[in-house]
Amino acid sequence: MDLNIDLKNINIDDLKAKVLAFADKKTLIKGGISFGAIVFFLIIYYSILNPIVNNKKAKLADMTLKQEEVAAMKSEIAGYKKKIKKLTPEYENFSTLFHTRAETEGLYQTLSVYAGENGLVISKIAKKELTQVSKSEALAAADPKKKKKKKKKKKSKGLKDVAYYKIPVNFQITGNFLGYIKFKRALSLSNKMLNFDKETIKVVKGNATGAITVSGTLTIVGLADDFN
Residue 218 burial (C-beta neighbours within 10 Å; 0-12, 13-18, 19+)? buried
Give the integer Cα–Cα distance in Å for 111 and 126. Answer: 12
Q: Which of helix, strand or coil describes residue 110?
A: helix
pLDDT at site 182: 94
Give the integer Cα–Cα distance in Å for 84 and 160. Answer: 18
User: What pLDDT band is residue 157 in, cutting at 50, 70 and 90?
Assistant: low
- H or E segment and range at residue 139: helix 135-142
Give the integer Cα–Cα distance in Å for 76 and 2. Answer: 84
pLDDT at site 189: 86
User: What pLDDT band is residue 122 in, cutting at 50, 70 and 90?
Assistant: very high
pLDDT at site 20: 55
pTM, two decimals, is 0.53
Q: 159-181: per-residue pLDDT in tens?
A: 568 888 899 999 999 999 999 99
Most trustworthy range by pLDDT among 18-27, 111-120, 202-211: 111-120
Sign of the alpha-carbon torsion through 109, 115, 120, 126: negative
Residues forming a β-bridge with 172 = 124, 215
Question: Does residue 148 register a pLDDT over 80?
Answer: no
Question: Does residue 156 register a pLDDT over 80?
Answer: no
Question: Does residue 147 register a pLDDT over 70?
Answer: no
Query: Quick check: 216 and 173 in contact, CB under 8 A?
Result: no
Binning the chain into helix, strand and coil, the percentages to the nearest 5 are 55, 20, 20
Give the integer Cα–Cα distance in Å for 120 and 177. Answer: 9
Range 73-78 contact pairs with CB under 8 angstroms and sequence separation of 24 or more: none
State percent of the chain over pLDDT 70.
Answer: 68
Higher pLDDT among residues 1 and 185, named by residue? 185
- H or E segment and range at residue 85: helix 50-95
Q: 35-84: per-residue pLDDT in tens?
A: 666 666 667 766 777 778 778 888 888 888 888 899 889 988 988 888 87
How much is the mean pLDDT over the chain? 77
Backbone angles phi and psi of 149, in degrees to 5: -105, 135
